[in-house]
Amino acid sequence: MSYSFTTKIRNHIGSNMKVSKYYGPTPTNMATCPKLIYHQVDNYSQLQAPGWQLGLKFREGNEQEDLTVRLIEESHPGLKIVERNTKNLTATIGRHQVKGRPDGLIYDPNLSKGTMPMFEAKSMDEHNFIKFMAFGIEESHPYYYDQLQSTLLLVRVNFPKVHIPYAVIFAKLRGSEIDVWDEAVEFNPDHIDILEERLDKRDMILGQEYAPERPYERGNPFCQNCPAEQLSWGGLEFETKEELPTIDNLDELVKMAKNLVGYMEAQKLAEDRIDLLRAYFDNQLSKWQRREIPIALRDLAKTTLTPYLRTFDKSTFDQDMIRLEHPKLAQRASGKSPVTQLRFKVTQDGKVVRI
């Protein structure tokens, strides 16, 4: 008898994943794609809920924050991360009301009286962690920098008797390697002006009849797992508030789609037959103990097919050995780059027959 938790865990996490509607600016949506914000207001019911994988990632991030706080407090006697469960704070950026809260404030008896830096915890994969270490948060993750600056404004306005000159962002590396890194980020009022301009532009976009242009190129990682990915890149569902767009060349699209399905079916049949014929010729080379057999095709003038065996050196790279013997080097050499492929999915009677 086998017993598995997998399906119920996935379903449980997935059922709790909801699409967030846009109710106004917060530190976490300061850098959010304007096209997603637009759809969060006008096409909210058409957005796709994030999958269970993203839900699990969020859960792990929240638990990593608790672990991070314990590590800091255990290693710094007398230091405490306070105001962790404070209610949402409110401040204004220009004419915009911003709501949010920090991960905490740092009480350290070694600092001058009344000084409490803001605390922000993050959990990062290898690629993002190395970028953070190498370049600092403003250059490596501008959207986190936006979040830090707007949250710093919130705490400085709502804790007027506390001196909060900077924030400490503390990152924990998740994955096969474990590491930690932090950076102190000073409050930058000039960046608040930049955020004000961005929010002014956001209001203008939300007042438009048509959705804004996509700010990212195809395949950008920001578009992956986005609730509005299908609306933005599916291309045909919603582009205005009031009506569905028309497709001028629908007959041509159907014709070309039929041609493509036909060619794909023929290609699949040809590939299967080629695999069988390759196996046949491989067997013939083995049977006759030959490395090649030139075959003149009598009905095709001056045409010869020669099945042959080719031996060559293939480059190999033992990633497991590098990770084991040189873990730091492996961290710095590893990374991910988004790759976009054009694919076609064919369904018959509601069932996928080819992807």
**pLDDT given at position 150:** 97
**pLDDT given at position 241:** 40
Q: pLDDT: is 134 or 350 the higher one?
A: 134
pLDDT one-digit tens code per residue, 23-64: 999 999 999 888 888 888 877 777 887 777 778 887 887 788
pLDDT at 221 over 80: no
Mean pLDDT across 84-103? 94
For domain 6-234, which architecture applies? Answer: Alpha-Beta Complex (3.90)
Q: What angle do CA 101, 194, 36 make, to 5 degrees?
A: 65
Rounded distance, CA 106 to CA 320, Å? 40
Q: pLDDT: is 328 or 22 the higher one?
A: 22
Mean pLDDT across 313-342? 70
Q: Which residue, among 248, 83, 41, has the nearest Cα to 167 in the 3D structure?
A: 83
Bridge partners for 72 per DSSP: none
- Amino acid identity at 44: Y
Rg value, the chain, Cα: 29
pLDDT at 193 over 60: yes
Mean pLDDT across 112-134? 90
Mean pLDDT across 1-25? 80
**Residue ranges per domain, the chain?**
6-234
Rounded distance, CA 83 to CA 110, Å? 19
pLDDT at 251 over 50: yes
CA of residue 169 relative to chain centroid, distance: 21
The pTM of the whole model exceeds 0.85: no
Rounded distance, CA 123 to CA 173, Å? 6
